[in-house]
Chains A and B, each alone.
Chain A
Amino acid sequence: MNDPLDNLLDARLRDETRYIDDAGFTGRVMKQLPRRRFSWSTQRAFIIFSATIVSVVIAYFASGEGMFVHDACARVSGLRPLQLLLLIFACGTGMTIAGLWAALTRTHDMTV
């Protein structure tokens, strides 16, 4: 590569590699890109949300317009303080475990 002609040729070819100004090129490409479809995570959230709404509506009418909630509240109000405390503790523990499980699963998804 010590041939002066080689050096001259390399230099000239490098000189010819000029930057081509964008001049709206990127904008034209962006306009022609296919429309973005919803990602799988968005679709999944939509499906779960819709299924929840439908389930609630069905449960509401199937249970005599939610009378079971009224009955359950009445039953809870009749509990002794210790029983109520245990119930709240059990619910809190259950929700904490569910939250931790969801958080750990999510972290795993992001690191893969």
Chain B
Amino acid sequence: MELTDADLLARVIVKGDQHAFGELVRRHQSPVRGLLRQLVRADVELADDLAQETFIRAYKNIRSFRGEAKFSTWLYRIAYNVFRENARKRKELVGIDESQLQAEVDPQTTDPGLRHDLMNALANLPLHERTAVTLCCQNGLSHDEAARVLDIPLGTVKTNVLRGREKLKKMLAAWATE
């Protein structure tokens, strides 16, 4: 029988079982890396570095996880904080800002086609809308869970999701009529 996340967490906390933590990493690596790839705009190497930092930080602070939220929600919150710290550092080091980041277009997303258009449109949403749409519409979090991850009011999350979706729908409108 497969162990639940709670069973694995108990093993990590009580026995310091690193193999149990490895199983948790294996289970959650895909959504965490996916979220970070969206946040850093398809910079796969940077996203994976941040994901590694996320899991290492989770391991170090595992005793502070109280089980009030899902383990995945707790991980997303750490991932988002790691991303924000990194973005702040990059801004300090390189002098880039969000508006400049908005203008960056990944060469892979310049191909024609609905998929690439959608991903391009998602990548070009403002950070707060992109994050909210990714968490709620791609990773399946409820608005309430997303609000906890982002540490912002529930109403703000709903607004960001709504605005982000409206922008994506405008882009999709052309495809829907074809």
Residues of chain A touching chain B, judged by Cβ–Cβ distance below 8 Å, are: 3-6, 8-10, 12-20, 22, 25-26, 28-30, 32-34, 36-37, 39
Q: Is B30 an interface residue (CB 8 A)?
A: yes
Asked if A30 and B25 make an inter-chain contact with CB atoms under 8 angstroms apart, the answer reads: yes
Distance of A3 from chain B, by nearest CB (Å): 8
B: interface residue count bin: 35 or more
Q: Which residues of B contact A25 (CB under 8 A)?
A: 25, 29, 33, 48, 51-52
> Contacts A3-B169, A8-B172, A9-B169 given; 5 further ones with Cβ under 8 A?
A8-B176, A13-B118, A13-B138, A28-B52, A30-B22
Asked if A12 and B115 make an inter-chain contact with CB atoms under 8 angstroms apart, the answer reads: yes
Asked if B51 and A16 make an inter-chain contact with CB atoms under 8 angstroms apart, the answer reads: no
Asked if B16 and A37 make an inter-chain contact with CB atoms under 8 angstroms apart, the answer reads: yes
> Tally of A-B residue pairs with Cβ under 8 A?
83
Q: List 20 A-B contacts (CB under 8 A).
A: A5-B172, A5-B176, A6-B169, A8-B175, A9-B168, A9-B169, A13-B118, A13-B122, A14-B138, A16-B118, A18-B34, A19-B30, A25-B25, A25-B51, A29-B25, A29-B29, A29-B56, A30-B18, A33-B18, A34-B60
Q: Which residues of B contact A13 (CB under 8 A)?
A: 118, 122, 133, 137-138
Residues of chain B touching chain A, judged by Cβ–Cβ distance below 8 Å, are: 15-16, 18, 21-22, 25-26, 29-31, 33-34, 37, 48, 51-52, 55-56, 59-60, 114-115, 118-119, 122, 133, 137-139, 165, 168-169, 172-173, 175-176
Name A33's contact: one of B21, B30, B33 (CB within 8 Å): B21
Q: Which residues of B contact A6 (CB under 8 A)?
A: 165, 169
Distance of B37 from chain A, by nearest CB (Å): 8
Name B52's contact: one of A15, A32, A37 (CB within 8 Å): A32
Distance of B28 from chain A, by nearest CB (Å): 10
Asked if A16 and B119 make an inter-chain contact with CB atoms under 8 angstroms apart, the answer reads: yes
Asked if B59 and A34 make an inter-chain contact with CB atoms under 8 angstroms apart, the answer reads: yes
A14–B139 CA distance with the chains assembled, in angstroms: 8
Name A36's contact: one of B16, B118, B133, B172 (CB within 8 Å): B16
Distance of A13 from chain B, by nearest CB (Å): 5
